[in-house]
Amino acid sequence: MEHTVHQTHDHYDPEASKIGMWLFIFTELLLFGGLFVIYSVYRFLNPEAFHLAAEELNRAIGTINTIILLVSSATIAMATSAIQKNNKRQTLLLMLVTVLLALTFLVNKYFEWGAKFGHGIFPGSEHMIQTMSKGEILFFGLYFIMTGLHALHIIIGMAFIIFVMVLTARGKIHSERFALLENSGLYWHLVDVIWIFLFPLFYLIH
């Protein structure tokens, strides 16, 4: 070795945590990627049944939920710029709005699923086995798995944002150190993007 340099004890490296978050987002995309592959295969094999089944979904709720998520992505992005200006109040407010929007999404989803259950449409239902073709059963099976897994990600995203809110309120996150807030935003955009794919696949395509 030629010479040596001195290193500080502080390990904070925002670049590293951002790379880490992007890599994690990659894995999430692949997780859903597997499901998209399955969806494509079965749609290709049962075009008519998928068409029929899609008619049953409530497009109005779907559209409203899409708008909700798009707005929430905007608010979390605004929170990231607010923290850079060291505007703590505004940051917290924007994050709170994001969380409330996410909650609204889940409430809508609850009523949507509830209505389906009321019509005897749920995994393993006798009603489905007796009245539907195999393609339709598959459609609804995939619908529940994919939107369910997505809803789980909404919940995880909410928990993440609330955690970051607590840290922000305590002054641990500020204009000099906000990688975690940025990462929660990145994660939230991911959740949003996945929905942007789910929405047309289940509600719109004919």
- The residues that touch another protein, with contacts defined as CB under 8 A, are 1-7, 9-11, 13, 15-17, 19-20, 23-24, 26-28, 30-35, 37-38, 41-42, 46, 123-124, 129, 133-135, 137-138, 141-142, 144-145, 149
**CB of 92 vs another protein, minimal distance in Å:** 25
**Radius of gyration (C-alpha) of the chain in whole angstroms:** 21
**CB of 115 vs another protein, minimal distance in Å:** 19
**CB of 152 vs another protein, minimal distance in Å:** 10
| DSSP label of 122 | S
Nearest to 188 by CA among 109, 110, 113, 79: 79
Query: Please, which residue, 46 or 91, has the CB nearer to another protein?
Result: 46
Element (H, E) at 78: helix 59-84
**CB of 67 vs another protein, minimal distance in Å:** 28
Q: Which residue has the tokens 């494509």?
A: 40
Q: Which residue has the tokens 């605004």?
A: 78
- Please report, to the nearest 10 degrees, the dihedral formed by the alpha carbons of residues 102, 107, 111, 112 taken in order: 0
Query: Please, which residue, 24 or 199, has the CB nearer to another protein?
Result: 24
